[in-house]
Structure 1
Amino acid sequence: MTVERILPTEEAYELLGLTREIADGELAPRVARFEEQGEFPREVLRTIGRSGLMGLPYPETDGGAGQPYEVYLQVLEILAGSWLAIAEAVSVHTLSCFPVYAFGNERQRKSLPDMLGGDLLGAYCLSEPQGGSDAASLTTRAEKDGCDWVVTGTKAWITHGGHADFYNVFCRTGGPGPTGISCVIADADTPGLLPQIPERTMGLRSSPPAQIVFDGARIPAERLVGDEGAGFRIAMQALDAGRLGIAACAVGLAQAAVDYATAYAKERQQFGKAIGEFQGIGFMLADMATQVSAARALTLAAARLKDAGRPFSIEAAKAKLFATDAAMRVTTDAIQVLGGAGYVSDHPVERWFREAKVLQIVEGTNQIQRLVIARSLTRD
């Protein structure tokens, strides 16, 4: 399947240049301190929002930047190469704006400019402690009481949990299965919406997820997004695009690892010459670079399908699967190139290794991506 490529505009090239300036000037100098201290970079994200990078693939008429998904993913790649938590935050926020953009009523859509401008940070409450991959079996319940939905249950692994200004909450308003699930949008100050202590994570320490407990949280009935019972469909459509965001983050992270390991291999001397001149190291670097290029090509090809209005969900699953697996391999090999130096925090490769792991899990584990791809091959 081929899709004619739409060449980026001059505006897109300027946007990518601006992103590189922000990544080099604002992100790279801060990432080590924020990750070490576990501090959430809310002000940094406001800077990202003021730069117009929080609503890139949405129309300008709604407050976005009107950029193709192919350009948006390249922005994520650049951000991830300097600070993965920021790139992931932009990806999750973009995902969190989708329900209101695609299914929201006129009153809900009035908030889009503030959402897409980054003034309001979003979170996506789908996973639960006992049900991550099996989202159709979620148990968080919303009962109608007069003019409100009363929501009770617990959501898990919520990016921006405790920091978000609005939460997309997927909850059961009907019977079992996907058709009993609806989506409501809740403000952070909703009584009964209770963020828990953030998780102690291996990576992404400046943006750890947290559980969100809903203890009889009263959400106005008018905050129902789309039709009652349409929640699962909304969630899956959003995740199709979200997987491309995670794939782009993986590409950016892996490219940073290749660049760093290559620079180290040029400078590190052993047996009278740079270690990069030894075939054992050179071939390793060649394989790393090839995997990154292949992951990037697969990711952007899926983005072009989306931009063309063609079905892209299976290609998104392939891109997410391949790119995140590649990031795990590449960051592992980057540590090996550095040897003992790669195992200490003086060099960023050990952080990239820790961060790459989570990309194989979020937005649907890679085992789920394989299941999705396999089913597409065997069904009529």
Structure 2
Amino acid sequence: VTGVLVAEALAYGDMGQAVACLAPAAVATAISLWGTDEQQQTYLPAFTGDDVPAAALTLAEPRPLFDPFELETTARLSGDGYELNGIKSAVVRGTEAELFVVAAQLDGESRLFIVESSTEGISLAADPSMGLRAAGLTRLKLEKVHVPSTALLGTADDFRECVRLSRLAWAGLALGTGKAVLDYTKEYVKTREAFGEPISHRQAVAFMVANIAIELEGMRLVTLKAASRMEQGVDAAREVALSRKLVSEYGMKIGTDGVQLLGGHGFVKEHPVERWYRDLRAIGLMEGAVLV
């Protein structure tokens, strides 16, 4: 629950910056929850100091209708470890990262691997995107990347939990940016005048703002319910799926309505709603397309 609230608060300012700030926490959380004693002793101390290293959890792949449970990035046994091959997309601050947690298919199951950025066979390139421009998104290519057997992180069940936690984090980000849209448009329609009166006096405008508030509250309630169940250790697969479905649809709609309420002003960079619109489009795509 705290994680969702933190994501919401940070994304109220800028979702891209929030993603960049939270990326190392995602890696540290994965290692603390599912790592062996050796993995925790090796990697976690770096995340407790003043100079936290850049690190990224890499689930996404550059293909339509990406499904994290049907990965094209592969891992196979090789000597005393594993060989990883594939391409990951939307890697946060990838060019700066010292550590990656990479999702790959191993023996028909999606698993996680700890990969240090200095490992031979890794290459990085910019991954320009419509939104989240402050996140420094990068494409990560793995070509015959060899990691030791100790790099395997957690179990297949842990991977499923990782996806659910990640999707809840994205829902929290959508809540923050959606609240920013609501607060900004609410004040805008009160001061913007047309035909001698504020446009908020127009019923169609007032209803659109009210709908944003209603949709945002629904998003928050279902997301916090899912987060609460996960925190209690109760099965939350259904609640996370409901949160993801609701947040992806309403989040994108809130972004569109924010632009619409500002009219021509919503299209220009003078106002932040165009950025919020672009950022909110990511919610239905990250950690697996919502249509899958």
Answer yes or no: same fold by TM over 0.5: yes
In the alignment, which of 139, 146, 150 is matched to residue 222 of structure 1? 150
Preserved CA contact (<8 Å) 1:98 1:238: no
- Provide the C-alpha distance between the structure 2 equivalents of 1:325 and 1:172, rounded to a whole number of angstroms: 29
Q: Which residue of 2 aligns with 1:101?
A: 32
Report 1:130-145 matches (<5 A).
130=63, 132-133=66-67, 135-145=69-79
In the alignment, which of 195, 204, 210 is matched to residue 271 of structure 1? 195
**Tell me, which stretches of 5 or more residues in structure 2 are unaligned?**
none
Preserved CA contact (<8 Å) 1:193 1:215: yes
Preserved CA contact (<8 Å) 2:181 2:273: yes
**Tell me, which stretches of 5 or more residues in structure 1 are unaligned?**
1-69, 369-380
Preserved CA contact (<8 Å) 1:95 1:241: no
Shift of 1:134: 5.5
Report 1:61-140 matches (<5 A).
70-110=1-41, 111-115=43-47, 119-130=52-63, 132-133=66-67, 135-140=69-74
Preserved CA contact (<8 Å) 2:59 2:287: no
- Provide the C-alpha distance between the structure 1 equivalents of 2:174 and 2:168, rounded to a whole number of angstroms: 10
Q: Tell me the SS of whatever aligns to 2:270.
A: coil
Report 1:308-327 matches (<5 A).
308-327=232-251
Q: Which residue of 2 aligns with 1:257?
A: 181
Q: Which residue of 2 aligns with 1:203?
A: 131
Q: Tell me the SS of whatever aligns to 1:136.
A: coil
Preserved CA contact (<8 Å) 1:253 1:356: yes
Q: Which residue of 1 aligns with 2:97?
A: 164
1:191 aligns with 2:140: no
1:262/1:211 CA distance change after superposition, 3 Å: same
Preserved CA contact (<8 Å) 1:80 1:250: yes
Q: Tell me the SS of whatever aligns to 1:82.
A: coil
Report 1:32-47 matches (<5 A).
none
- Provide the C-alpha distance between the structure 1 equivalents of 2:201 and 2:23, rounded to a whole number of angstroms: 41
Report 1:206-355 matches (<5 A).
206-226=134-154, 230=155, 232-355=156-279
The share of aligned pairs that are identical, in percent, is 27
- What TM-score do you get using the length of structure 2 for normalisation? 0.90
Preserved CA contact (<8 Å) 2:71 2:105: no
- Provide the C-alpha distance between the structure 1 equivalents of 2:111 and 2:68, rounded to a whole number of angstroms: 16
- Provide the C-alpha distance between the structure 1 equivalents of 2:97 and 2:115, rounded to a whole number of angstroms: 10
Q: Tell me the SS of whatever aligns to 2:258.
A: helix
- Provide the C-alpha distance between the structure 2 equivalents of 1:284 and 1:127, rounded to a whole number of angstroms: 33
Q: Tell me the SS of whatever aligns to 1:189.
A: coil
Supply the AA of the counterpart residue of 1:221: S
Q: CA RMSD in A?
A: 2.2
Supply the AA of the counterpart residue of 1:356: L
Q: Tell me the SS of whatever aligns to 1:162.
A: coil
Shift of 1:218: 2.7
Shift of 1:265: 0.8
Preserved CA contact (<8 Å) 2:19 2:135: no
Q: How many residues align?
A: 289
Supply the AA of the counterpart residue of 1:329: K
- Provide the C-alpha distance between the structure 2 equivalents of 1:194 and 1:183, rounded to a whole number of angstroms: 19
Q: Which residue of 2 aligns with 1:9?
A: none
- What TM-score do you get using the length of structure 1 for normalisation? 0.70
Question: Going by fraction, where is strand more abundant, 1 or 2?
Answer: 2
